[in-house]
Amino acid sequence: MIGMSARREVDFAINEITITESRETVVDFTKPYFLESTTIVTRAPAQLSKAGAIFTPFTLLVWLVLALAMVLIGPLLNLFSWVMEQYMSTPPDSSLQMFTFNMFRNMVLQGNMIVTEHWPHRFIFLFWYLFCFYIYALYQGTLTAVLAVPQFEKPIDSLNDLLASMKKGEFTLSVPYATSNEFIFKEATSGIYKNIWDLFNKANYVKNGDEGIAKVLSGKFGFVNAMLATEIRATREGREKFYLARQSFYPQGYGMALNSGAPYKRVFDRALSQLTEAGLIAKWARDEVNSVKGGGASDEETSEDSGPGAITLVHLQAAFFILALGIATSAVVLLFEKQACCLRSKSDLEFDQNGIPSMSRLR
């Protein structure tokens, strides 16, 4: 349309034409009748799987520290028991295995089966109980929140997010060919625009906004386009399928392209100024979006607050995996133990020269 106006094939053109310095060298523009920013539209973030949610309340380091504490608490109690047995002539309260098992039991069930009359053990038990109670409360509260509240992939909210995801190979830039949106990246000599363009693949050019919206639905693409046009197209396809970045950039103005030196430019400027000051342009923009939504319903009226989702078996996959792993491990240990008992029984039987077992061993 810029070319047609420059060649005087038409008197004027209007269709989301951005006013740029290079275009003003060949055509005249009216005053901007609409100002808007550029946005990044991506596919709506997918909900994250909660199959491993049982592990998410704590970081890996916390889990390692807790495991270390469980390993050390049993030998520590046994050491106290040994010291009291050696130097105080007191019988041990329990064995190393029972100490370790009951401290683990206290961690997961908040209960202990060991009864002691010795104060050193009582003090250790007291502070271990407090430690376990604190850990248990933190874990239970955090796990409930993780399971109840839906979690989604990290969205693209800014150019920095887009650049970071492009470096990781997660998202790819897509822009309309030969537009001002392409120009801001292609002509940049430094800064984030240039950094993003250096990672751009020319195979991801699109011809127009409709093709760009379709491309977003086909994969991990961040389509850069004018905000109003993007919102209208996304709403037409199903607003819930898309995500518009919270941070916009590169404000741009739309104007009517006129023949160079057109005598009616002043009349158009005056008419557009009146429309803008009366708020009719802004009303038109709202009406366009609402007409696509259907009946002018607002987001608040059409959105449903479903609340936290219910906990399902998917959320407990990790717990059942741990249970199955424990049963399998116990079965393997049982087989080894049975084999060891058989070997021990055979070695305990002594045979005489005639092959008859010793009576001392049979008693």
Measuring CA to CA, how many Å separate 50 from each of 123, 170, 316? 39, 21, 8
| Cα–Cα dist 165/155, whole Å | 10
pLDDT, tens digit, for every residue of 218-250? 999 999 998 888 988 998 899 899 999 999 998
Structure tokens belonging to residue 5: 């106006």
Diameter over CA atoms, the chain = 131
pLDDT for 323:
62
The closest of 16, 3, 8, 2 to 259, measured between CA atoms, is 8
Looking at the predicted structure, is the pLDDT value of residue 87 above 80?
no
Residue 315: in which H helix or E strand, if any? Answer: none
pLDDT band at residue 195 using 50, 70 and 90 as cut-offs: very high
- Summarize the confidence of residues 348-357 as an average pLDDT: 54
pLDDT band at residue 258 using 50, 70 and 90 as cut-offs: very high
| Burial class, 64, CB count within 10 angstroms (exposed 0-12 / middle 13-18 / buried 19+) | exposed
Cα dihedral 182→185→188→193 (10° resolution) = 160
| Burial class, 225, CB count within 10 angstroms (exposed 0-12 / middle 13-18 / buried 19+) | buried
| Residue appearing with tokens 């329990």 | 94
| Cα–Cα dist 81/287, whole Å | 81
The closest of 218, 189, 188, 190 to 203, measured between CA atoms, is 218
- Summarize the confidence of residues 92-118 as an average pLDDT: 79
Structure tokens belonging to residue 295: 């009946």
pLDDT, tens digit, for every residue of 274-324? 988 888 888 888 888 788 776 544 444 434 444 555 556 666 676 667 767
